[in-house]
Amino acid sequence: MAPNMSLFSVNAILLLSADDNSRILTKYYSPPHPPANAGNNFPGANPYPTLKDQKAFEKGLLEKTAKSTNDVILYDNRIVVYKTESDVMLYVVGPADENEIMLYSVVLALRDSLNILLKNSVDKRTLIENYDLASLAIDEIVDDGIILETDPVVVASRVSRPPAQDTPNMQSVDLSEEGLLKLYQFGKAKLGERLRQGL
């Protein structure tokens, strides 16, 4: 009998301060489509539904990883992969039967994309000042516990803000009748060129 196949592979992504054991950014996930009539007892359900449960899990996790020298541990019947950047701990938590190499690629993608976005200055203060970029980077990597992207360059390019000089200046757009007629003629000429090239 085949195991229950699912794309859901991440229970949580945590960015915690290593200095004062505080949260910087945390996202807990539950499968988007749980089995019918399963309640909260199905595999993959978020075992930490309340803030109190989450903080207790995070505190224990920080204590365990402070003593560990590995990047992959088993904690509370979950696989946890993590990386340390300056004074920040980056964690990716998955079910016990999940592929740890895949989870490790997620934590590496998160670390590298944050380094690109924050110009190699990943620390607590910079993350708080750029909370929007960090949150968007996590959302580009994982959505509802499903891994979407692990290439840090792609993630950073989707998240980064466009340069100020490249934004279009709406004051220079001519919306008069003559301007719209010129725009129509330009579009018609370009469409004609494309059609001639295709034939």
pLDDT digits (tens, 9 = 90+) for 62-76: 888 888 788 898 888
The separation between CA 128 and the C-alpha centre of its own chain, rounded to angstroms, equals 16
Angle at 187 between CA 186 and CA 192, to 5 degrees: 100
105-150, pLDDT tens digit by residue? 999 999 999 999 888 888 899 999 889 989 999 999 998 888 999 9
CATH architecture, range 12-159: 2-Layer Sandwich (3.30)
Is pTM beyond 0.85? Reply is no
Alpha carbon dihedral 87, 90, 93, 97, in 10-degree steps, equals -110
**Measured over all CA atoms, what is the biggest interatomic distance in the chain, rounded to whole angstroms?**
72
**From CA 187, how far away is CA 139, in angstroms rounded?**
37
H or E stretch covering 56: helix 51-67
Q: Which of 109, 64, 101 is closest to 81 using CA atoms?
A: 101
Whole-angstrom Cα distance, residue 160 to residue 113?
10
Q: How far apart are CA 107 and CA 91, in angstroms?
A: 7
Going from N- to C-terminal start, the domains of the chain cover 12-159
Q: pLDDT (tens digit, 9 = 90+) per residue, 159-199? A: 886 655 554 555 566 667 777 788 888 888 888 888 887 65
The pLDDT tens digits of the residues spanning 133-142 come to 899 999 999 9
